[in-house]
Each structure stands twice: as structure tokens, then as C-alpha cells.
């Protein structure tokens, strides 16, 4: 498997959208019900570019198989050195180490941008994601019970944090 990691370009947006919509429809990685449109993804990408936030893709055989990004943790000024990140991998590519390839550049970008901390919000039942984050030095810093509702059940949320 030869995976190339690079910054996303406009031509990647459809595949990024497909991966994200699959996460909406089939996982608790995002507490969202409605799929996004290509117009929404274009606006999202334009906003990331405007704010100088990275969108990084993993590419295999000229096809995007995963992406990662970060953005503001909260909108208030006092949080300007804190970001919340996301990593999504195509469903048939999970478990191959692609997430690891997408995490390192995010941490590097956060350091370059003088961010102080990266936050992860994770479904508490997603033990794989929690263990994944621990490999990069993230620590569990919060636990909120029954904060989300998806797939006809309440979801707990774990916050993990990495001081960069």
C-alpha cells in the first residue's frame, strides 16, 4: 500500500464529501443526521482556506481514502490557541494505518500555527478511536453523559486533549 499525504485541493471535495457522508449515515463519529451536499463541502473548504486551517488528504492510486482537518474549538477569542480536529477514513480502508498518517501532519500544523492544544470529541463507545488518540499522547480530560442522540440511543462524549 502506497499512501501519499498532501493538502487537499478542490478536486478532492467530492471524495471528501463521500467519506464524510458515510460517517454521518453509518457511524457515531459525527453526531449529525443529515448528509451534506457538495455546495456545503465547497463552503466548508473555502472557510478552512480563509482561516488558514489545514485539510489534509491520504491518497492511494489517485483516490482520496481519508482526510483530516482542524478548526476552532470554540468561537470566542480566548480559545484562539485551541483547535478541535477530525480524521475520517473511507470505510473499506480503516484499520490500515491511514489515520496515523493523517494525524502527524495535523499535530505539525498545529505547532506551526502556534496552537497550544488540540481537542478530540469522541463517542465514548469508540474504544478504537480513544486508543488511537492515546498513541499520540492525547489524554482523556472530560466525559459528558448522554449528550448526543443517534441511532435511537443516547451517546456519551469523551473529550481528549493534546498539549502541543
| Phi and psi torsions of 34, nearest 5° | -90, 135
Residue 56 and residue 6 in contact, taking contact as beta carbons nearer than 8 Å: yes
Share of the chain above pLDDT 70, in %: 99
pLDDT at 5: 98
Across 52-80, average pLDDT: 97
- Domain range for 125: 4-163
- 158: helix, coil or strand? strand
Structure confidence at residue 143 (pLDDT) = 98
Locate all alpha helices (DSSP H) within 51-153, ordered by sequence: 98-112, 127-135
140-150 average pLDDT score = 98
pTM score? 0.95
The predicted pLDDT at position 92 comes to 94
Whether the CB-CB separation of 37 and 132 falls below 8 Å is answered with no
Checking if the pLDDT of 6 tops 70, the result is yes
CATH number of the domain to which 65 belongs: 3.40.630.30
pLDDT at 124: 98
Res 101: pLDDT: 97
pLDDT for the residue numbered 66: 98
What is d(CA 12, CA 62) in angstroms, rounded to the nearest whole number?
A: 10
Place of cell 494525524: 103
> For the chain, how many structural domains are there in total?
1
pLDDT, average across residues 69-74: 97
Tell how many helices (H) and how many strands (E) occur in the chain: 4, 7
Strand partners, 150: 153
Say whether pLDDT at 1 is over 80. Answer: no
Mean pLDDT of the region 94-112: 96
Q: What is the pLDDT of residue 87?
A: 98
CB 69 within 8 A of CB 54: yes
Provide the percentage of residues in the chain whose pLDDT is more than 90.
Answer: 99
| Average pLDDT of the residues in 26-42 | 97
SS3 for 20? helix
Amino acid at each position: 500500500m502506497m499512501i501519499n499525504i498532501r493538502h487537499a485541493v478542490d478536486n478532492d471535495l467530492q471524495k471528501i464529501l463521500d467519506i464524510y457522508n458515510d460517517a454521518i449515515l453509518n457511524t457515531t463519529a459525527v453526531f449529525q443526521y443529515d448528509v451534506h451536499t457538495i455546495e456545503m463541502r465547497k463552503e466548508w473548504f473555502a472557510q478552512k482556506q480563509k482561516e488558514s486551517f489545514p485539510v489534509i488528504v491520504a491518497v492511494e492510486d489517485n483516490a482520496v481514502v481519508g482526510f483530516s482537518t482542524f478548526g476552532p474549538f470554540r468561537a470566542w477569542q480566548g480559545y484562539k490557541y485551541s483547535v478541535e480536529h477530525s480524521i475520517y477514513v473511507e470505510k473499506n480502508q480503516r484499520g490500515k494505518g491511514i489515520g496515523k498518517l493523517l494525524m502527524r501532519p495535523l499535530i505539525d500544523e498545529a505547532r506551526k500555527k502556534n496552537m497550544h492544544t488540540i481537542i478530540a470529541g469522541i463517542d465514548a463507545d469508540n474504544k478504537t478511536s480513544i486508543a488511537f488518540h492515546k498513541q499520540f499522547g492525547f489524554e482523556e480530560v472530560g466525559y459528558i453523559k448522554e449528550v448526543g442522540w443517534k441511532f435511537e440511543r443516547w451517546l456519551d462524549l469523551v473529550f481528549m486533549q493534546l498539549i502541543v
